[in-house]
Amino acid sequence: MSTQTRKQGETAYFNYSPSPSEDVSAGWTCNITVTRDLDATPAIDRPVTTFVAGSTGFAASLTTEETAALAPGTYIVIGQLTKTSATPPLNREAHSVLKIVQQGKL
């Protein structure tokens, strides 16, 4: 699991791709969720619509406004890929750790 440290108000970037690699521009959706723990109400939960080069994954980011609204602390960032064209739909998750520090602190 990867870890990023960002100050409040800084953009955080994440890439999510299925394995094995395939074109995700059709038949796939991606959602990003940010939460303190898996039982908590998410602070952020929204779709991702930007593809990485070659459309082999999704490029997700948390905006400056989104990270500014997060209290300092540690968060779990979940990228969920769903292949909606499969029957039943195929789900893949990737988890990362995001540490938010107060602006002006290290």
* DSSP assignment string, 83-101: ETTSSSPEEEEEEEEEEEE
DSSP structure string for 30-76: EEEEEESSTTSPPSEEEEE-PBPGGGSSEEEEE-HHHHHHSPSEEEE
Q: What pLDDT score does 20 carry?
A: 83
Q: Phi and psi (nearest 5°) for 81?
A: -100, 135
Can you give the pTM of this predicted structure? 0.89
Q: What pLDDT score does 105 carry?
A: 65
Which class does domain 2-101 fall in? mainly beta
Residues in the chain predicted with pLDDT less than 70, given as ranges, are: 105-106
Domain boundaries, the chain: 2-101
Closest C-alpha to 13, from 2, 25, 28: 2
